[in-house]
């Protein structure tokens, strides 16, 4: 185990914060990096070297990668469907971060570079029905990625491949499928469906307004992976010899309506539902085919959706009360 620091780019965000926490428990030396002021990071660890830097700037990437042994490139301008639907240009600008981090990693001689891609790279014509077949890694081509965010991720996957081929940088890529859990965004427009639904149910319960708005008709399907499983899979992929992008997600498929059912049950409340058919809802169906990761790493999600959602709900509830009161 090298004593050179591990760079976690995007450490002030949801997944990055949990990754730093895990690496800290393993006694690793971590350089945590994010563009946000330290006061806005979801998790801050005094034992880490905490750095505020704009990684769209090449010189900043060189600064944070200097002397590093490994890089986990999670930094991106992104959010839930409401954000990525209306900010395609901002999402595409993450290409700057990925490119400059790859260049800086080569210059620094890092031993391994992990890149967090997304299931949004998958071809739209394979996600037209709620009864979607699980998406295999090969389904990303012929390319028809989600506009903006998905194309940025797919392009950056190719960058990782060619930096491995041309510069000898050991790159590893995981395609995340809908990660959720505590210590993440739960309001403000960048939150994803599990957190947004938790917040809406909590708000309805506290305000005694027994109604909830659902984006789309509620029949769209997704699978959701709890953050602990995501971190475990991330570290396994980063340390593996898997050269091509690989799925990292749950295959427990549910509709948005069923996700609302779960949160209502946790909250002990039943709400009247209205459906906003004009709101961003993404593809009609998306699920992860885990054949490759089971075969290569023996990885399976260990936390059921119901259990993970209860933990997430409790954390968001406490945050809601802290901010808005009872």
Active site residues: 149
d(CA 190, CA 196): 9
- Token match 């790859």: residue? 102
- Cα–Cα distance for residue pair 223/178, rounded to 1 Å: 7
Residues 17/260/91/43 CA torsion (nearest 10 deg): -10
Nearest to 24 by CA among 38, 10, 11, 42: 11
Structure tokens at 324: 């808005």
Distance between alpha carbon 150 and the CA centroid of its chain, in Å?
13
In angstroms, rounded to a whole number, what is the distance separating the alpha carbons of residues 305 and 80?
Answer: 18
List Cα–Cα distances, 168 to 103, 106, 162, in angstroms.
12, 8, 9
**CA gap 49, 99 in Å, rounded:** 23
**Which residues have a Cβ under 8 Å from the Cβ of 307 and sit 6 or more positions away?**
226
Query: ∠ CA(305), CA(311), CA(312), 5° rounding?
Result: 85
Using an 8 Å Cβ cutoff, are 84 and 144 in contact? no
**DSSP conformation class of 135:** B
Beta bridge partners of 49: 31
């Amino acid at each position: 185990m090298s004593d050179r620091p591990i760079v976690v780019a995007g450490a002030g965000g949801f997944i990055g914060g949990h990754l730093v926490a895990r690496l800290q428990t393993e006694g690793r030396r971590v350089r945590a990096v994010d563009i946000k002021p330290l006061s806005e990071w979801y998790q801050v660890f005094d034992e880490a070297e905490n750095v505020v830097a704009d990684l769209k700037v090449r010189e900043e990437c060189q600064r944070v990668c200097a002397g590093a042994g490994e890089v986990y490139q999670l930094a991106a301008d992104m959010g839930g469907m409401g954000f990525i639907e209306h900010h395609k240009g901002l999402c595409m600008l993450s290409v700057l971060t990925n490119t400059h981090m790859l260049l800086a990693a080569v210059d620094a001689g890092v031993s391994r570079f992990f890149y967090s891609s997304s299931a949004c790279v998958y071809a739209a014509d394979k996600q037209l029905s709620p009864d979607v077949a699980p998406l295999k890694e090969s389904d990303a081509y012929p390319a028809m990625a989600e506009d903006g965010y998905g194309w940025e991720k797919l392009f950056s996957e190719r960058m990782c491949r060619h930096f491995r081929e041309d510069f000898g940088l050991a790159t590893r890529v995981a395609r995340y499928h809908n990660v959720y859990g505590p210590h993440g965004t739960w309001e403000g427009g960048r939150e994803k469906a599990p957190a947004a639904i938790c917040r809406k149910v909590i708000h309805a319960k506290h305000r005694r307004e027994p109604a909830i708005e659902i984006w789309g008709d509620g029949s769209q399907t997704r699978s959701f992976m709890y953050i602990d499983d995501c971190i475990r899979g991330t570290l396994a992929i980063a340390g593996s010899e898997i050269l091509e992008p690989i799925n990292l997600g749950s295959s427990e498929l549910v509709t948005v309506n069923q996700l609302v059912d779960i949160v209502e049950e946790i909250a002990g409340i039943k709400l009247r539902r209205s459906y906003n058919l004009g709101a961003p809802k993404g593809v009609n169906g998306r699920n992860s085919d885990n054949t490759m990761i089971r075969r290569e790493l023996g990885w399976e999600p260990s936390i059921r959706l119901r259990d993970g959602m209860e933990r997430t709900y409790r954390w968001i509830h406490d945050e809601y009360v802290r901010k808005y009161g009872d």
